[in-house]
Structure 1
Amino acid sequence: MAEEQASGLAGLVGSSAGLSAAIMAQAKALEVDFETFKGYKKVVDDLLKKLGDSPADDKKLAHVSLPEGTLGKGFAEADALFKTYSTVHEQLQNLSKGLAGQIEALGIAILTSGKGFAGVDEETQARMRSIVRQAEKDYVPERDPMAKQKKDAEHGSTGETNKPKGKI
């Protein structure tokens, strides 16, 4: 009996050593040169600067808009067109701001990849948390095609409801 337990333990030790070796091999496969990340971060920073310098920057978009009445006055179509213009303009500002935040978050993620999030200063951690909170606040599931696919998969449909057809 004692011999059976000992051989069982030896099997566990052998399998855990094999598991450990497999995990180490996978970790080695995921290892990335930090210089590669630094180069990628430079690309991200350059994109963020280009966005900030472009007319698509959310702050610049805020200053370039049509004044009310420019499209006409006194008829419903002009009012509807101006309302649509204002909505699109506001959405472009939001898109630009969100894109800038996501690019900044990607830069922070690259920065932290070498040392882990715990090794980053408190100010950078706070900025990342702020970006995440803003992204969650701005998220609109109805506009997310992946959310619709996930919902359809959960309900076992392809977009159609699973209601019975015909009279009940």
Structure 2
Amino acid sequence: MAEDNGPMLLGGNVSASVADAIMSQAQALQVEYESMTGYKKLVDALLKKLDGSDADEKKLADGTLPAGTLGTGFAEADTLFKAYSTVHSELQKLSQGLASQIEALGIAVLTAGKGYAGVDEDTQARMRAIIRQSKQDYVRDRDPQVREDEQARQKAAAQQGTPTPTPSKSGGSY
């Protein structure tokens, strides 16, 4: 005797396709997580290399060179030291930001199948803190996507242009 399993099979196929989509997303997040982790290791290695070198900010700030060795009124030396401090500070901020983003991605990977509601309150609070910090650290002027979007808007506006009115040649009057 034949059984009619049509609706059951359809339901099973839908569930399987949803599960496949969730697994695919989780795998994509895992790849992104691994990429960011590798990038952060590179940034941390740069910081460690700078911190351990003769160019270490503390060594420079402590004055490994006696005052006046480079001469007095040598603005370039001050500018170089300020540039180094800026680079070092920005690398530290980058490392901290990457650490937060990697943590957020890790949480996303672990909770991919549960949904946000299935995550405990401590994890939700941590995610909100990461988002809040990311928003505080965001510098719109440094965002290349913002520049690209603005250039695209300007290009579209230039292509559309404003039509120039032309006088009527019909000879009619109002």
TM-score, length of structure 1 as denominator length: 0.59
Matching of residue 66 in structure 1 with residue 60 in structure 2? yes
SS in 2 for 1:99: helix
* Higher RCO (C-alpha 8 Å, min separation 6): 2
**What do residues 46-78 of structure 1 show as CA deviations (whole Å, max 9, x unaligned)?**
759957985647xx7998663154467642111
SS in 2 for 1:113: coil
1:61-100 aligned within 5 A: 66-67=60-61, 69-70=63-64, 74-100=73-99
CA contact (8 A) 2:29 2:109 kept: yes
1:1-168 aligned within 5 A: 27=18, 29-32=20-23, 43=34, 54=45, 56=47, 66-67=60-61, 69-70=63-64, 74-156=73-155
CA deviation after TM superposition for structure 1 residue 111, in Å: 1.3
SS in 2 for 1:32: helix
Unaligned runs of 5+ in 2: 1-10, 66-70, 162-174
For 1:38 and 1:146, the matched residues in 2 are separated by 21
For 1:112 and 1:50, the matched residues in 2 are separated by 24
State percent identity of aligned pairs: 48
Tell me how large the CA RMSD over aligned residues is: 4.4
Aligned residues: 138
Unaligned runs of 5+ in 1: 1-19, 163-168
Which structure: larger Rg? 2
CA deviation after TM superposition for structure 1 residue 151, in Å: 1.7
For 1:63 and 1:123, the matched residues in 2 are separated by 37
Relative distance call for 1:89 and 1:42 in structure 2 (3 A) is: closer
CA deviation after TM superposition for structure 1 residue 140, in Å: 1.4
